[in-house]
């Protein structure tokens, strides 16, 4: 019988790619999520019955344990970019990660991969970065042989990075950003999935790996690349951090007075703190090369999904060709 992996958060942006890769590698895949009925898109990743969504709440020991029974490996992809209700940074990224590792050790699971993030730091000003560091510490304390993957900002068809800014670029002639001089090393989501699978199947891939793509650029530079892909001219306006804090405070107040009907996914004060720091792979860190993976360049992928934001969508190239014909 093929081996079984439980992927916590396996229907999300990163998790779905890992689930597909694990199924392709011949594993039976148990996708542990809060809403299995919203995770049915993962079932076609394998043969009938090979990929199964199941209910799990990582804030609860019994729930985590139940979906781990019989698993040979576990992968934790659960994370939040903004807090909402009981899904705080501490509950999800620190306590939840440690809980999965503790129960995995108790059940004799042989492999564990935990998805963290570049910038995880117990001394950081950002609660997000601190909770990521606490999660890593909790995982390694309970499961010392675990593999920690720290990606930079992740891009791909369903991302919340390039897609978000591309949508903003449709609003008007100015594209406002905060932290325009901050450096990023965007990494393709399927490369992160390949790294997770490689770590699970390796004889010994324990330790921390920082994952970044071949391209390093400032946030302003990345916005220029994105605008080039969507064929739109916009003024990229780099706002000072103090302006970003004011904007984030306004959005937070709006969320409060609407009792959460408006959930601030635009800009939070915690994100402003993160934007002050470069998000690139450390010079002495283990990375893709140690897992035998060559990362994918942005240019090879962005055009595959950002075309929807072009003035004429998929017909932009045809329109440009027609213009050339008229000039002959």
| 19-48 tens-digit pLDDT | 999 999 999 999 999 999 999 999 999 999
CB 114 within 8 A of CB 146: yes
CB 141 within 8 A of CB 130: no
pLDDT of res. 314: 75
Strand ranges (DSSP E) for the chain? Answer: 4-8, 28-33, 51-55, 73-76, 111-115, 147-151, 154-155, 174-178, 183-184, 187-188, 207-211, 217-218, 235-239
Model confidence at 71, in pLDDT bands (50, 70, 90)?
very high
Q: What is the mean pLDDT of residues 108-131?
A: 98
Of all residues in the chain, what percent carry a pLDDT higher than 90?
91
Residues 153, 159: Cα–Cα separation, whole Å = 9
**What does DSSP say about strands 147-151 and 207-211: parallel, antiparallel, or unpaired?**
parallel
Which of these, 109, 88, 92, 157, lies nearest to 302 by C-alpha position?
Answer: 157
**What does DSSP say about strands 217-218 and 183-184: parallel, antiparallel, or unpaired?**
antiparallel
Residue 230 reports pLDDT greater than 60: yes
3-class DSSP state for residue 68? coil
Q: Environment class of residue 35 by beta-carbon count within 10 Å: exposed (0-12), middle (13-18) or buried (19+)?
A: exposed
Residue 292 half-sphere exposure, CB side, CA atoms within 13 Å?
Answer: 7
Q: What share of the chain is helix, strand, coil (3-state, %, to 5)?
A: 45, 15, 40
Ordered domains of the chain (ranges, CATH): 4-159+186-214+279-295 (3.40.50.720)
Q: What is the mean pLDDT of residues 51-76?
A: 98
Residues 327, 64: Cα–Cα separation, whole Å = 65
For residue 92, what is the DSSP state? I
Model confidence at 315, in pLDDT bands (50, 70, 90)?
confident
Residues 57, 62: Cα–Cα separation, whole Å = 9
**Angle at the Cα of 121 (from 115 to 125), degrees rounded to 5?**
125
Residue 327 reports pLDDT greater than 60: no
DSSP structure string for 278-303 = -B---TT-B-GGGGT--PPPTHHHHH
């Amino acid at each position: 019988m093929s081996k079984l992996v439980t992927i916590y958060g396996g229907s999300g942006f990163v998790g779905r790619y890992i689930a597909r890769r694990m199924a392709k590698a011949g594993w039976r895949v148990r996708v542990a999520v809060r809403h299995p009925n919203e995770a049915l898109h993962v079932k076609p990743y394998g043969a009938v019955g090979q990929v199964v969504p199941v209910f799990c709440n990582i804030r609860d020991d019994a729930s985590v344990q139940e979906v781990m029974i019989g698993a040979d490996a576990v992968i934790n992809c659960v994370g939040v970019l903004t807090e909402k209700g009981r899904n705080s940074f501490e509950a999800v990224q620190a306590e939840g990660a440690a809980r999965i590792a503790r129960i995995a050790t108790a059940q004799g699971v042989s492999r564990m991969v935990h998805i963290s993030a570049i910038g995880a730091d117990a001394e950081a000003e950002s609660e997000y970065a601190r909770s990521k560091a606490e999660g890593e510490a909790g995982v390694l304390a309970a499961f010392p042989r675990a593999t920690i993957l720290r990606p930079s900002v992740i891009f791909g068809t369903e991302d919340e990075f390039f897609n978000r800014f591309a949508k903003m670029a449709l609003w008007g002639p100015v594209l406002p950003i905060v932290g325009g001089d901050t450096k990023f090393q965007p990494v393709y989501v399927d490369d992160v999935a390949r790294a997770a699978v490689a770590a699970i199947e390796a004889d010994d891939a324990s330790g921390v790996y920082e994952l970044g793509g071949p391209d390093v650029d400032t946030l302003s530079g990345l916005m220029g690349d994105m605008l080039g892909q969507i064929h739109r001219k916009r003024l990229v306006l780099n706002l000072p951090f103090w302006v970003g804090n004011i904007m984030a405070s306004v959005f937070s107040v709006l969320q409060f007075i609407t009792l959460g009907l408006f959930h601030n996914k635009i800009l939070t004060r915690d994100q402003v703190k993160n934007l002050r720091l470069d998000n690139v792979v450390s010079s002495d860190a283990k990375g893709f090369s140690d897992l035998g993976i060559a990362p994918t360049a942005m240019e090879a992928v962005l055009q595959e999904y950002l075309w929807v934001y072009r003035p004429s969508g998929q017909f932009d190239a045809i329109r440009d060709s027609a213009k050339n014909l008229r000039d002959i």
